[in-house]
Structure 1
């Protein structure tokens, strides 16, 4: 199949690239209709670099590329003219008034990083083994305020 330069351009618009075919490739791919002629030179068409396109597939891709080209030309003919405006100059930098530093300014002391010591619960008067033998208000030392200690006489 002989291709014209316009057909090559339409195919390239669809992502097809053309590689020059070696004599061994011409011999191998001629029966499969994968060898094309562009300006008398044998070429192979590929989209991904690994598989070569057949004549039927390439004809569809050329038709799609031609449709895309016509659509682009129609869009260019109907779009309104673009107005290019000069960019606005940047705003002037803000005016800053520097005040003199106070003579009696207090300089904060640098913070000292705390050491990573684990926190411990405050110790109680009750030994650890006996701690949970009493509960609630008794343990917290508020037995006098607890409702169970109120008597109605």
Structure 2
């Protein structure tokens, strides 16, 4: 039964201005995970301006880690037909991502930096798994 304010803090939230969306209406379009991800991309010390474009961006960015996890699980089960994956490099990236996440959380709970580190790991992992799926001569 809550509301999301869709305009900056200078403008009060009101029905007549139509500058809010109910949580119920929000959930018709976006998942709770997309909202959580949207919130993690901003510092807890900063105001967050809700907009459909910001939510669409969060939704799109969230696809990367999800795709990587799905492909990585399939690869580990032998269900992903692909060439050689440089596993040592992936393990090193995972280790450095863990360090980056720990450092960001210790630095005033810097969740935007945490998100960037995780997105970087997913991007690298997706790049390796997808590159190994390509056939010779394919771009």
For normalisation by structure 1, the TM-score amounts to 0.27
Higher CA-based Rg? 1
Structure having the larger proportion of residues in helix:
2
Structure having the larger proportion of residues in strand:
1
